[in-house]
Chains A and B, each alone.
Chain A
Amino acid sequence: MIPTSQLELHPDADSLNAFVEQALADSERERVVAHLAGCSRCRQVVYLAQETAEAAAPAWVVATLPALQSSSWFRNWRLVWGPAAALAAALALVVVFHPKTTANSPEIAKVAPSGEIAPSPVLPEPPAMRTAHTQALVVPVKPAAPAEFAPKAATASAVRAQAPAAVPSAQLPAPPVAPGLSFAESNLALSPSGAPSGPPPPLGTMVQFKPSPGAAAWQQRQINGALSANAGSGTEERKSMRAAFDNARTSHTATVAAAMPRSAAPLPSAGTFQATTGGPMIQALDLRGSIKLPSGLAAVSTASALHRLLAIDASGALFLSEDAGKNWKLVPRQWTGLPIEIRARPGFSASTESAGTLELKNDGGLVWVSTDGMTWTMQ
């Protein structure tokens, strides 16, 4: 011990070195720490000794020393990475393969039996699941087509050609619908939002599928819940359906309701298909794959109202057909940018055409509206 003026005695070099090297027993360490707290001289000695020791040690030892000594709990966490990675891989496999197997199963209708709450249509679905739902949703409405339904368009002809083969709609009674609502009102083909990434399936394939009764019931309940405020038995169920179909009601449902007579009166001879890209939840039959445009390009967006059919091809040209797709004429360009979407807005009806509008949207998000499909004004 060296007497100094600051403190009576200093720890010897052996104690200070043992403190630096963490070689002191608890009681001795406590004494050294208490001394160091008040002795700047010994703290300087310790700093110097420690810095010199670190300078003499290999760099990797100095760098890893604090981490190794203080993170024993973290080292244990490293062992968790292996099982965590395996679990993540297993989860990924389940996510990828489970929907496929479910979609391929003929028991798809079990997903939403009549007594259970239907899966929320708001959630995005894998393509395979979407196909299954499309099939389940499209078919039940076909029997509702009245016998007078005879679309002149080629696309509608395809539907007509397949429909009798699948179900003799004229002889079949209409399925139960919500009170005060004729099933003819839902005489539209429904498909969930978002088209599959691949080319759209031919219409025939869409109507050939025969759903199980459960799926038909689920579909019917969805229609009822969407179109009728009084429909649906369970409050929770109706809430979920109403939330899911909220957008659909504000766009296409209203369109359907306006376009279709409330009674089972004969429909106009032209098809009453609606826009294929308009609504998030309910869409009309996808006509894009069956339309033959004069440009020879594929249609990227189509809309129809009464006897008018509009289509945008891949180059952005807009075509209008007044005869359900037999003859097309190019609509003069009255917009800027590249048109990417055409759709019919609610209120477009046979009796009051002016009340409804067609909307064209370009790639910049700007919208042009038209009532006849030929004259467009910017919104």
Chain B
Amino acid sequence: MGIAPSQPVEVDAAIGISSLPEEIHEPLREAMPDRLLEELWQESAASAYGLTRAKFSEILGCVSVERNAGLADGAIVSPQQQAGFLRGLRLPDLVLARACANGHEGAWEHFVALYQQPLLRAAIAMTHSETIGRDLAGQLYAELYGLAVRDGVRRSPLESYKGTGSLIGWLRTTLAQRHVDHLRRTRREVPLDDAADGLEPPAAIPEAITPSAELAALGRAIEKALERRSAEERLLLSVYYLDGRTLLQIARLLHVHEATVSRKLRRLTDDLRKQIVRNLQHSGMSRQAAREALGTDPRDLDLNLRKMLQIPPPDAFQ
């Protein structure tokens, strides 16, 4: 790894939770029973990184508030639900991440020993290149170390780790985010020379083809049919038809059996077909005409399926 914490950074231990308003801290601290706090404290081994019980309680309160104890936004959280949520957190990982974000030297040593090599291997595996992988891992490592300064305060992405999943998983996902963002950014940027070489003389502008009423009706019917599908069904369609993932890959993603994915897909496409026919009939087509409309060449349709599948849920990420 190119970057190591050669110069220990003196960071106030309270930086990690300083953003949480004080008025939120106090009620949570009061709501958390001492017995539960002691139990979680022992489990997390937070004392090894110099975290006090008060700081530990604040970290838990911050996580619990941000995630609303795993419940839907606005739902009232009972003490039992909060206790269950807190017990389900990866507390040792959470404490290590927060200690690293706070600049604790011992935590950093532990972090490097645990995650330096896995992080490098993951970066190389993602980029399929040792050079690019080392660069990617190095950049992330610098970010984690808190080299970025915002508003005069050193910030580390480790502060955003909330202990829901494992720390190594979080690191891999963060690496993947960086890599995907980099790829998407660089794909949009085409060098001017290459772009100029690849240019062809402008072709004659084709006459605008006005879609027939039938095609327009079909487009609306498809859109309405997709709107009625659940989030998981739309994800299934996206993953299978847009991304071209195999049944096995989808099965691993959704943690179901391959046959289940196949069965769901078959049922979903059958339902969609029926729903589209119904929608077309509602728009005034006969059943025969609606069935024939399903055989339309997709190239004749002016549809953006990606956009249609981007139906934001009512409580979208904000």
A positions within 8 Å CB-CB of B: 1-2, 6-18, 20-25, 27-28, 30-31, 33-41, 43-56, 65-67, 69-71
Q: Are A49 and B176 CB-contacts (below 8 A) given A14-B170, A31-B317, A70-B257?
A: yes
One digit per residue, 1 when the CB lies within 8 angstroms of any chain A CB and 0 when it does not, for chain B 150-166 equals: 00000001001110111
Complex CA–CA separation, A45 to B173 (angstroms):
7
Q: Which residue of A lies closest to B179 (CB)?
A: A48
Q: Are A40 and B243 CB-contacts (below 8 A) given A45-B180, A50-B252?
A: yes
B153 to chain A, nearest CB (A): 19
Contact A28 B243 (CB under 8 A): no
Give the residue of B67, B238, B256 whose beta carbon is less than 8 angstroms from that of A37: B238
Give the residue of B165, B176, B248 whose beta carbon is less than 8 angstroms from that of A14: B165
Complex CA–CA separation, A13 to B160 (angstroms):
8
5 extra interface residue pairs, beta carbon distance < 8 Å, beyond A9-B316, A13-B177, A20-B169:
A15-B164, A20-B165, A40-B306, A52-B126, A52-B175
Contact A36 B235 (CB under 8 A): yes
Contact B122 A52 (CB under 8 A): yes
Complex CA–CA separation, A25 to B242 (angstroms):
27
The 4 closest A-B pairs by CB, nearest first: A38-B310, A25-B70, A34-B231, A70-B257
Please give, as numbers and ranges, the residues of chain B lying within 8 Å of A12 by CB-CB distance: 160
Contact B184 A54 (CB under 8 A): no
Please give, as numbers and ranges, the residues of chain B lying within 8 Å of A34 by CB-CB distance: 231, 234-235, 311-313, 316
Contact B172 A11 (CB under 8 A): no
One digit per residue, 1 when the CB lies within 8 angstroms of any chain A CB and 0 when it does not, for chain B 301-312 equals: 000001101111
Give the residue of B177, B179, B235, B255 whose beta carbon is less than 8 angstroms from that of A66: B255
B91 to chain A, nearest CB (A): 13
Q: List 20 A-B contacts (CB under 8 A).
A: A7-B316, A9-B318, A13-B160, A25-B85, A33-B231, A34-B231, A34-B235, A37-B231, A38-B310, A41-B181, A41-B184, A43-B239, A45-B173, A48-B179, A52-B122, A54-B252, A56-B121, A66-B251, A69-B256, A71-B257
Please give, as numbers and ranges, the residues of chain A lying within 8 Å of B297 by CB-CB distance: none
Please give, as numbers and ranges, the residues of chain B lying within 8 Å of A45 by CB-CB distance: 173, 176-177, 180
Q: Which residue of B lies closest to A14 (CB)?
A: B162
Complex CA–CA separation, A27 to B164 (angstroms):
14
Give the residue of A21, A30, A35 whose beta carbon is less than 8 angstroms from that of B166: A21
B87 to chain A, nearest CB (A): 13
Complex CA–CA separation, A55 to B121 (angstroms):
10
Complex CA–CA separation, A38 to B237 (angstroms):
10
Contact A50 B255 (CB under 8 A): no
Contact A39 B257 (CB under 8 A): no
B positions within 8 Å CB-CB of A: 67, 70-72, 75, 85, 88, 118, 121-122, 125-126, 157, 160-162, 164-166, 169-170, 172-177, 179-181, 184, 231-232, 234-235, 237-239, 242-243, 245, 248-249, 251-253, 255-258, 260, 306-307, 309-313, 315-318
Please give, as numbers and ranges, the residues of chain A lying within 8 Å of B315 by CB-CB distance: 31
Contact A52 B172 (CB under 8 A): yes
A178 to chain B, nearest CB (A): 63
Complex CA–CA separation, A56 to B176 (angstroms):
14
Q: Are A25 and B71 CB-contacts (below 8 A) given A17-B169, A56-B121, A69-B255?
A: yes
Please give, as numbers and ranges, the residues of chain A lying within 8 Å of B71 by CB-CB distance: 25, 27
Please give, as numbers and ranges, the residues of chain A lying within 8 Å of B184 by CB-CB distance: 41
Give the residue of A18, A33, A38, A54 whose beta carbon is less than 8 angstroms from that of B164: A18
Please give, as numbers and ranges, the residues of chain B lying within 8 Å of A23 by CB-CB distance: 88, 164-165
Please give, as numbers and ranges, the residues of chain A lying within 8 Å of B310 by CB-CB distance: 6-7, 37-39
Complex CA–CA separation, A65 to B75 (angstroms):
34
Complex CA–CA separation, A31 to B85 (angstroms):
18
Please give, as numbers and ranges, the residues of chain B lying within 8 Å of A55 by CB-CB distance: 125
A278 to chain B, nearest CB (A): 55
A35 to chain B, nearest CB (A): 6
Complex CA–CA separation, A45 to B126 (angstroms):
10
Contact A18 B165 (CB under 8 A): yes
Contact A16 B312 (CB under 8 A): no
